[in-house]
Structure 1
Amino acid sequence: MALMASTKKHSLSRALSSFLRFRSSPGNEIASKPPCGARYSSTAASAAPAAAPATTEPRGMGAVEIFGLKDYEDYRRSLYGGITHKALLVDAVGTLVVPSQPMAQIYRQIGEKYGVEYSEDEILNRYRRAYEQPWGRSRLRYVNDGRPFWQFIVSSSTGCSDSQYFEELYNYYMTDKAWHLCDPDAEKVFKALKRAGVKIAVVSNFDTRLRPVLRALNCDHWFDAVAVSAEVEAEKPNPTIFLKACELLDVKPEDAVHVGDDRRNDIWGARDAGCDAWLWGSDVHSFKEVANRIGVRV
């Protein structure tokens, strides 16, 4: 009987894994990326970013045809004593924080005294073209402090290669003036999650300025770990960065859920690592909703 129960549980677990992999809708656009030091996000820009070609997930017979969402969440709560996950992984830009002003506006404002004459629309278009080009110096855009990459982006976007301009712009994106929290209730929610025993980590494609940014916003102490692509040497959607976050939290990937605003980088990447994943702005719209889905009342 014990063997049969174990086999049944294993089969259910595999089916639920299938459920995670095939749950999201196909054909969604993939958001573009950052300003100088920020990730450029569709939620933070004044104009919609250029769309990447639509990508379709494979279809197949999975647990979605067998189990409803409520059954799945009830199953997880039965495993973890009332909560669905032992750990929460959170994307940074576009989910936890957003730029306080549009990137092109900042590039233009700071650049005026350095001779930048391009309009905000032209800066934004040039920025997009530069960001989409292959970065030949490394397989990673964000290496250490990311300066070589951002110098290329800034000069390509504005036509200005003045080192003082770059440093002023680069340092601006390390301050609390550049960013604000997406959800004003985030601190209250994260405290409630931690009281319930849920571990929390930030998982972000960013250079090493992410930690100073979190300190500047006085939210670095909310997290048990921070997995930054520049430090992990892997960028989302590479599952390595999610696995590193789970390692830092000392949890198994299947015990964690990741929340982020990019379907390709956050949702597909996390699920490839074996984590559950919810799309910010679609599956969940606030951290209170995240906590409620995990089973923690705020």
Structure 2
Amino acid sequence: MKAYSEHRQISHPRGLLFDMDGVLLLTSQSPAQSWQEVACSFAPALDLSAEALFEALQRSYQSYQRTIAHDPEQQRRDRLAPFETRLEVVEDALASLHRVHKEMAVEMVHAYERLRDTHRFLAPHALEVLQFCRQRSLALALVTNGNATYQRLKIAQHGLASWFDAVLIEEEVGVAKPDPRIFQQALERLHLRAPEAWMIGDDLTRDIAGAQQVGLLTIWYDASGGGLSKENPVHPDWIVHDLAELCSLLTS
């Protein structure tokens, strides 16, 4: 645990805003590993090698990422229509291999999403930290981008809803991080002012820079321990590598 902004004094909050994916929920399998497993499962039925199918999926995905890289509207669609965009990637990959098969493409996306669910788990100490916050009567908000159906399913699967006074999901509130309006809405629902709350997130642009626009004290969850790059312009107020460190911050 370390302070990054030496000039800013930390004060005990009345509430906390948490990101979900990458903070409270982690995954034990990367997207590439999930697609590789899908390729191994479906390649025989398509009369392909697993390697050829996986490489086609990777090429299609990389091409798709380049297409949306500088298009905010397409990035929004990517978050809000995940099944449709994944299906397009798979169909393009199959077409490149001369294996046009709509039903198989749909099955592949379903298989991929099941793998993502299977390999998702609560971050170490996540529930302990939430319980600690509740014991201290702190107001809590969950602030997450993405499709409401997908995000609500994750929340239900991991029993997160009961811990939070407010849940703000991009599709439901009509605005996404890093737009300051979503943080302001969270504060309003918690009946707090910005100086009374902290934001905990893993994405320096969406979570940290976005929250700083409304004056929240920010804590960057660096689970990998990679640290900040020298080129990064975003300066979180604090950095933690384990969620349990939040308990120490709240009692310091």
In 1: Cα distance, 2:88 partner to 2:55 partner:
19
Equivalent in the alignment of 2:169: 228
Q: What is the distance in 1 between the residues matched to 2:186 and 2:144?
A: 10
Q: SS at 2:249's partner residue?
A: helix
Deviation of 1:120 (Å): 5.4
Q: 1:228, 1:247 → 2: CA distance?
A: 15
Equivalent position of 1:198 in the other structure: 138
Sort the Cα spacing of 1:96 and 1:291 in 2 relative to 1 into closer, same or farther, 3 A: same
In the alignment, does 2:245 pair up with 1:289? yes
- After superposition, the C-alpha distances for 1:178-213 in whole angstroms (9 at most, x for unaligned) are 301222x22122111112111122211221211211
Q: CA deviation at 1:289?
A: 1.3
RMSD (CA atoms) = 3.1
Q: Is the 8 A contact 2:60 2:90 kept in 1?
A: no
Question: 251-260 vs 154-163, which deviates more?
Answer: 154-163
* Structure 2 counterpart of 1:216, one-letter code: Q
Partner of 2:112: 169
| Structure 1 unaligned regions, length at least 5 | 1-22, 25-63, 77-83
1:144-170 CA-partner distances (Å, limit 9, x unpaired)? 554333333444577675222223333
Structure 2 residues without counterparts, runs of 5 or longer: 228-238
Q: Give the counterpart of 1:152 among 61, 74, 88.
A: 88
Equivalent residue number for residue 233 of structure 2 = none
How far apart are residue 108 of structure 1 and its match?
2.3
TM-score (norm 1): 0.63
Return the letter of the residue paired with 1:87.
Answer: G
- Return closer, same or farther for 1:228/1:288 CA change in 2, 3 Å cut-off: same
Q: Which amino acid aligns with 2:109?
A: F
**Residue pairs, 1:90-105, within 5 angstroms:** 90-105=18-33
- Superposition deviation, residue 125 in structure 1: 5.9
Q: Indicate the SS of the match to 1:287.
A: coil
- Give the percent of matched residue pairs that are identical in Structure 1 and Structure 2: 22
Cα-to-partner distance string for 1:2-38 (whole Å, 9 max, x where unaligned): xxxxxxxxxxxxxxxxxxxxx66xxxxxxxxxxxxxx
Alignment coverage as a number of residue pairs:
219
Structure 2 counterpart of 1:127: 61
Contact 1:237/1:268, CA 8 A, preserved across alignment: yes
Structure 1 residue 138: deviation in Å? 5.6
Equivalent position of 1:88 in the other structure? 16
